[in-house]
Amino acid sequence: MTSTLVTPPVVATQPRRGRRLTAVAPFVGRSLIHSLRDAEALLMAVLLPTMVMLLFVTVFGGAIQLPGIDYVDYIVPGVIVLCAGFGSSSVAVYVATDIQHGIVDRFRTMPVPAYGVVVGHVVAGVLRNLVATAFVIGIGVLLGFRPAATPWQWLATIGLLLAFIVAITWLFAAIGLASSGPAAANSYGFVLLFLPYLSSGFVPIDTLPAWLAPVAEHQPITLVIEATRALLAGHAPGADAYGALAWCAGVIAVALVWSAWMFRRRAARR
């Protein structure tokens, strides 16, 4: 040590009561810095949607003919939902990495709600996903996607996608807490990423085998995709939208309780 220590500064801190919400903001900032420094994840967030979109529209698109709808208009909602999953799965890895390292202990011995570290990753994940979603829509437009939605329908679309993204991101956070480490978190995520393929996202459900069609038809991702597709095409989404929202609310509630419980359990075990 070259310098003599100066007297430690007396730090004025705000009274803590009623600060629980604002106390999460620094955690969000931290997670956003992590996102920006993770060059590979950023690259994948841009490359994957581009490749998936090009693959489906230009390679499979020629072989898939749907009556009454341009295939690019059909597929964009599916790709949005698929990519929301890609973007969220990294949250599981971030959370699993944090809980394995000493830094959560540090937060838990401070006068802050330590679960904020999870909320930070979720909020950053949702923001990353919203950017990726805008990017997907942009690529879609370049490939000929022509949405017919009114401003109100756009707003409804954004709200619905936001609910879906929050739900899947929080679910991935819980998965990250439940898994034994970052590598395990990554592989559990893979299973969820398959769900969009078992939906009406890429091909109409009536083209599926009879035993698979009911599964695909009733799973929540189909509802989200159908509602998004209807809204972007300028139609009323009907019951699909309510079903999708109900599913999202349910998943958020389960993920919230599950992740909070797992966080306490994992953190207390150290």
Partner 1 sequence: MTHRNEPAVVVRDVHKAFGRTTVLAGVSLEIPRGTIYALLGPNGAGKTTLVHILSTLVPADRGTVTVAGADVATQRHLVRERISLTGQFATVDEVLTGRENLRLIAALLGVPRRDRSDLVAQTLTRFDLAGSADRPARTYSGGVRRRLDLAISLLRTPEVLILDEPTTGLDTRSRQQVWRLVRELTGHGVTVLLTSQYLDEADALADRIGVLHRGRIVAEGTPAELKARVGDERVALVDAAGTIVAERVTDGTPAGVSRALSELDGLAAERADLHVEIRRPTLDDVFLALTGDPVSNPTEDISSTDLVRRAA
Task: Give the x/- contact pattern for partner 1 in 75-114, rule: CB under 8 A.
Answer: --------------------------xxx-xxxxxxxx--
Interaction between residue 11 and partner 1 (CB under 8 A): yes
Angle, helices 182-194/71-100, rounded to nearest 10 degrees:
160
Interaction between residue 2 and partner 1 (CB under 8 A): yes
Which lies closer to partner 1 via its Cβ, residue 34 or residue 217? 34
Task: Give the x/- contact pattern for partner 1 in 112-131, rule: CB under 8 A.
Answer: x-------------------
- Number of residues this chain uses to bind partner 1 (CB under 8 A): 40
Stretch of residues binding partner 1 (CB under 8 A), selected from 11-19, 187-195, 230-238, 256-264: 11-19
Least Cβ distance, residue 100 to partner 1 (angstroms) = 10
**Residue 11, Ramachandran bin (φ over 0: left; ψ between -120 and 50: alpha; else beta):** beta
SS3 sequence of the chain: CCCCCCCCCCCCCCCCCCCCCHHHHHHHHHHHHHHHHCHHHHHHHHHHHHHHHHHHHHHHCCCCCCCCCCHHHHHHHHHHHHHHHHHHHHHHHHHHHHHHCCHHHHHHCCCCCCCHHHHHHHHHHHHHHHHHHHHHHHHHHHCCCCCCCCHHHHHHHHHHHHHHHHHHHHHHHHHHHHCCCHHHHHHHHHHHHHHHHHCCCCCCHHHCCCCCHHHHHHCHHHHHHHHHHHHHCCCCCCHHHHHHHHHHHHHHHHHHHHHHHHHHHHHHCC
Interaction between residue 20 and partner 1 (CB under 8 A): no
Here the tokens at position 205 are: 């459900």
Interaction between residue 62 and partner 1 (CB under 8 A): no
Stretch of residues binding partner 1 (CB under 8 A), selected from 20-28, 67-75, 125-133, 144-152: 20-28
Interaction between residue 39 and partner 1 (CB under 8 A): no
Which lies closer to partner 1 via its Cβ, residue 65 or residue 109? 109
Which lies closer to partner 1 via its Cβ, residue 113 or residue 204? 113
Interaction between residue 30 and partner 1 (CB under 8 A): yes
Question: Of 20, 21, 33, 234, which lies in the binding site for partner 1, with binding defined by CB under 8 A?
Answer: 33
Interaction between residue 218 and partner 1 (CB under 8 A): no
Interaction between residue 65 and partner 1 (CB under 8 A): no
Which lies closer to partner 1 via its Cβ, residue 235 or residue 265? 265
Separation CA 15–CA 28 (nearest Å): 21
Under the rule (CB under 8 A), what is the footprint of partner 1? 1-3, 5-14, 16, 19, 23, 25-27, 29-30, 33-34, 37, 101-103, 105-112, 180, 267-270
